[in-house]
Structure 1
Amino acid sequence: MKILVATEKPFAKAAVDGIREIIEGAGYELALLEKYADKADLLAAVKDADGLIIRSDKVTAEVVAAAEKLKIVVRAGAGYDNVDLAACTAKGIVVMNTPGQNSNAVAELVVGMMVFMARNQFTPGTGSEISGKRLGIQAYGNVGRIVARYGKALGMKVCAFDPFVPADVFKADGVEVADSVEKLYASSDFLSLHIPATDQTRKSIGYKLLTSMPKGATLVNTARKEVIDEAGLMQALEERPDLKYITDIAADAQPQLAEKFGKRVFATAKKMGAETAEANVNAGLAAANQVVDFLKNGNRRFQVNK
């Protein structure tokens, strides 16, 4: 069987070496397609692949149609909206992600972003401390729980909202539970956003929630740009000169936001939440192990297109 690693933005060498050891150690052939610039290259490479490992590469219906033997796709990372789940399901292809492997990297970035904005993007002027401030966390998954732990270690008062997490989990972590997303925003000096982009969440964060936040509040988005109502964000920033927004996924209107609001907004040049050497290796090795475990043992633990 052939396992294809298709990465427009390649894994680190240490990750590739580890993936090779896992795949070839299991008796499978490893094929690499790195830094490809044309979708035609991916279509050709996936034609005879039994397994596919990707990062942010797009597995569209066209890619699925070209994959004559494909049995499994593993997205090395938590998000998987770059994979056409319906097309894969229709063809009997299992899709998995690697939850938790990038979580610490993203959580550390959240802390850095909070400090960066509290200290005026490290430019002259009086900033503020984050200790003693209220940190709200929307979505209490792998990343959210680590952010909560770091926030508490820094002396922040942590509150979270996630209707899918049992109350005893929050209690065990010493985290206050918000009764609603509205109450979470209304009480948070810093709000760390971790919700996925779904039909229910797209453009769900907008004017009403943002303008309910306390004076001087900052929204930190390391999730997806699609969950932000950009028109509402623009209006909220215009009406509330004390609000700040920092994101790891530049808004479509980022040039206009930067021009109008200066140091009150910031976006990384390219999504970097998982861009650490450790996360790169962890996600790659997890993906390889999951491919092998599925092909040899039928393990579907991390399947997302059930």
Structure 2
Amino acid sequence: MTKVLVATEKPFAKVAVEGIRKIVEDAGFELVLLEKYTDPNDLVKAVADVDALIVRSDKVTKEVVDAGKNLKIVVRAGAGYDNLDLAACTAKGVVAMNTPGQNSNAVAELAIGMMIYMARNLFQPGTGSEIAGKKLGIHAYGNVGKLVAKYGKGFGMEVYAFDPFVDKAVMEKDGIKVVDSIEMLYSSCDYVSLHIPANDKTKKSIGYDLLSKMPKGATLVNTARKEVIDEEGLKKVLAERTDLKYATDIMADCHAELVEKFPGRVFATPKKMGAETAEANINAGLAAARQIVAFIKNGDKNFQVNK
């Protein structure tokens, strides 16, 4: 019998687990749970005899992949998949997938919430500002970026976007003003919402040169990955530009230093919370289960990320 392991250091909601179980067992498969584990070796042991694996932010390392003698597919319940060792999966013939779009609304709402939080001086006494009428820049117009743009427009913001991988006509059809360069996006917008993935080209790509171009009083909101930020450049520009602000869902390595040096201008959630809604939790888990069933039964490789 096909065995599916759900390995989650931070478990899915109970209703999500029940939904995953129904999908898996209705397909004639067996479901195995590994929840709240603290030792990575527990995952290595648990994956030994399973055919499929569902994780959240859990690390699927080469050791995990190699330990899965029968492993055919691993699905990261969420959009980002840098916690999966894709090279190891490919070498072992394991299909790796994510579940794009399932967490998008949760992340987009958080991004807008952060903008309001920063505009209102972290909800501390004093005169804040409104986001209505401000220019919002979307850096990467994917599932999340598109929703942030939509919600920004709903708040009366003027929305710009830069994404060389999305047809300009698609963005213009959504009522977005498309800019031709990253530099133009950052120099034009009061708020920039960052949604790029972390890869060899993007890591540390957002630093002093770009941030120093931002208008007076501007705010960068990062709900993507901390690795895309050049932290030394960020510290330098915040020191030089006392009007700039930074809000992130992924705490910087130098977060304590940032808060100490730039009080009231830097905010980070204590732990990545973009997908931490009941709805996103359920949606991503169910999508992962459905994708596994479709792959095992029909060879469906939609959403494969290690092609």
1:48 and 2:46 correspond:
no
CA deviations on 1:161-204 (whole Å, 9 max, x unpaired) are 00000011111100000110000000010000000000000000
1:108 and 2:109 correspond:
yes
Output the CA distance in 2 between the equivalents of 1:200 and 1:296: 37
After TM superposition, the structure 1 = structure 2 runs for residues 202-217 of structure 1, keeping only pairs within 5 Å, are 202-217=203-218
Determine what percentage of the aligned residue pairs are the same residue.
72
Q: TM-score, normalised by structure 2?
A: 0.99
**Aligned letter for 1:79?**
G
What is the SS of the residue equivalent to 1:282?
helix
After TM superposition, the structure 1 = structure 2 runs for residues 210-225 of structure 1, keeping only pairs within 5 Å, are 210-225=211-226
Output the CA distance in 1 between the equivalents of 2:111 and 2:11: 24
2:31 aligned partner = 30
1:78 and 2:87 correspond:
no
**Aligned letter for 1:91?**
K
User: Aligned-pair distance for 1:303?
Assistant: 0.2
After TM superposition, the structure 1 = structure 2 runs for residues 78-227 of structure 1, keeping only pairs within 5 Å, are 78-227=79-228
**Aligned letter for 1:252?**
D
1:239 aligned partner = 240
**Structure 1 alignment gaps of length 5 or more:** none
Structure 1 stretches of 4+ with a deviation exceeding 2 A read none
1:293 and 2:294 correspond:
yes
1:249 aligned partner = 250
What is the SS of the residue equivalent to 1:200?
coil
**Aligned letter for 1:88?**
C
Output the CA distance in 2 between the equivalents of 1:100 and 1:189: 26
**Aligned letter for 1:127?**
G
1:271 aligned partner = 272
User: Aligned-pair distance for 1:40?
Assistant: 1.4
Output the CA distance in 2 between the equivalents of 1:270 and 1:44: 27
What is the SS of the residue equivalent to 1:136?
strand
**Structure 2 alignment gaps of length 5 or more:** none
User: Aligned-pair distance for 1:30?
Assistant: 0.2
Q: TM-score, normalised by structure 1?
A: 1.00
Output the CA distance in 1 between the equivalents of 2:14 and 2:203: 36
What is the SS of the residue equivalent to 1:236?
helix
Output the CA distance in 2 between the equivalents of 1:134 and 1:200: 27
Alignment size in residue pairs? 306
| Structural RMSD (CA) | 0.4
2:69 aligned partner = 68
Output the CA distance in 1 between the equivalents of 2:173 and 2:96: 32
Output the CA distance in 1 between the equivalents of 2:8 and 2:243: 41
User: Aligned-pair distance for 1:259?
Assistant: 0.3
